[in-house]
Structure 1
Amino acid sequence: MHGLEHYVMSIIFHYRYAGLFVLLTGGMVGIPVPDEFLMAFSGFQISLGRMNLAKTLLVASLGSFTGMNLSYWVGRTLGISFLHKVAPLLHFNTKKITSAEHWFQRFGDRLIVIGYFFPGFRHFTAYFSGMSKLNYARYAVLAATGATLWAFTFITLGRILGEHWEKITFILHRYLVRGGIILALIVFLIYLYSLKRGKAGLEN
């Protein structure tokens, strides 16, 4: 077990719900917190009778939702202008950023719920939703839905697996990271395809 995971377990063990809320909120903003790990550990604590299932699910969902909202508003405050400033570092030009914004406003909201399950990718959906000024009411509904499903999945997993929760969670996390990379590549390819179609339409 790495030092970070041990530290997270210590916080949950001593502070329980307050620790879970703060850690998940920070993790969703971008602080390096092993989110799936801490929720599975919370589920394990439930199986031992040290935490309550309903309360843990509620706190985890609220923490995740709060973090996603903070990320959204940070992205919205920075705006697309922020991307224009760092565009040279990312090898993006103004046309590419504008096209990405339009593409995300049209299709990106469908990725918010599923994005929760892929480390790193969920942060992208939150910040870019804000930057592209995706309708907040729609974003909030999707973010709340994703937070609830995500929390329920990993807390239930930790509760069911019992003493085996740690080993299975590490294996699952490894595959989710890989899945996130694959999902990001798929999204990028779809985006490139949409650009190509749009360019072909203009030429015709």
Structure 2
Amino acid sequence: MSERILAFLFQFVTHIIDAGGYGGIAALLSLNSCGVPIPSELILPFSGYLVYMGRFNLFLVATAGAVGCNIGSAVAYWIGAKGGRPLVMRYGKWVLMSAHDVDRMSRFFERYGSIAILVGRMLPIVQTFVAFPAGIARMPRLRFHIYTTVGSFIWYTCLAWAGMKLGAAWNTDPRIQQIFHRFHLVVEIALLLAVVYFVWSHLRRRGHADVA
């Protein structure tokens, strides 16, 4: 993402959060969760900084984010369930979602099933589009929203906590996001290891069942 686009998004995000408070956080993350490319890595660290400043509460920031994520995800799920891949593709043209993005998310969901929703909420790019294939596959709605809530709440808490700990070092220079990209990379590696372990455990249990 170019510096100019990042700077614009940063100013947009901070303005919405300043003006809307928790409602602004929920609104931004509802857009993020239905395919609009507004990174959670911009939204939550700034919200965490406002926790440091005493304006927000960390738990309420993560809760507002999870509520917004569920709202946006419900829209994305409905689009996938209502019209399948053709409708998702037509909608995707308006939010810069390519056929490659749709296919990649579909493969991710087909490979890992419901757990893809839980893990996908903590992965870049995936978190923005993962609800669409869940809708196409008509994943049970209750399970979908439980996994969406748990995954988004954990991830949003981590990002907001990082912004809070950054504290006084925070400023409006978009280059500060380099810190969060490094933080993001560490978490991605940890999540990848968790997914590998989950798949390995699942295959081992299935192998034992076949032998029995």
Matching residue of 1:199: none
Q: How does 1:8-157 map to 2 (within 5 A)?
A: 8-80=13-85, 82=87, 104=109, 107-157=112-162
Residue 162 to residue 25, structure 1, CA distance change in 2 (3 Å): same
Count of residues paired in the alignment: 174
After TM superposition, give the deviation of residue 50 of structure 1 in Å: 1.4
165-174 vs 1-10, which deviates more?
Answer: 165-174
Tell me if 1:158 matches 2:166: no
**What TM-score comes out, normalization by structure 2 length?**
0.67
More helix by share: 1
Structure 1 residue aligned with 2:208: none
Report if aligned partners of 1:105, 1:134 keep a CA contact under 8 Å in 2. Answer: no
Q: What CA distance in whole angstroms lies between the structure 2 residues aligned with 1:140 and 1:21? A: 16
C-alpha displacement of 1:175: 7.4
> Contact conserved, 1:76 with 1:132, CA < 8 A, in 2?
yes
- In the alignment, the residues of structure 2 paired with residue 124 and residue 18 of structure 1 have an alpha-carbon distance, to the nearest angstrom, of 22
Contact 2:62 2:160 in 1 (8 A): yes
Separation in structure 1 between the aligned mates of residue 182 and residue 99 of structure 2, nearest angstrom:
27
- Shift in CA distance, 81/9, structure 1 to aligned 2, threshold 3 Å: closer
Q: Is the 2:26–2:65 Cα contact (8 Å) retained in structure 1?
A: yes
Can you give the 5+ residue segments of structure 1 that lack an aligned partner in the other structure?
92-96, 191-204
Identity, in percent, stands at 28
List runs of 5+ in structure 2 lacking aligned partners: 1-5, 91-97, 200-212
Matched residues in 2 for 1:115 and 1:144: separation?
12
> Residues 5-32 of structure 1: CA distance to partner in whole angstroms, max 9, x if unpaired?
1121122112211211111101111112
**Most deviating of 76-85 and 34-43:** 76-85
The alignment partner of 1:146 has SS state of helix
State the distance in 2 between where 1:52 and 1:84 align: 38
The one-letter code sitting in structure 2 at the alignment partner of 1:16 is G
Query: In the alignment, residue 55 of structure 1 is paired with which amino acid?
Result: L
Q: 3-state SS of the aligned residue for 1:2?
A: helix
Q: What CA distance in whole angstroms lies between the structure 2 residues aligned with 1:82 and 1:175?
A: 35
CA distance in 2, matches of 1:57, 1:134: 25
Larger radius of gyration: 1
Q: Is the 8 A contact 1:5 1:34 kept in 2?
A: no
Shift of the 47–24 alpha-carbon distance from structure 1 to 2, 3 Å rule, reads same
Cα RMSD, aligned residues only:
3.5
Task: Tell me the amino acid that sits aligned with residue 149 of structure 1.
Answer: I
Equivalent residue of 2:114, what SS? Answer: helix
Are 2:181 and 1:173 equivalent residues in the alignment? yes
The structure-2 alpha-carbon separation of the partners of 1:110 and 1:27, relative to structure 1 and needing over 3 Å to count, comes to same
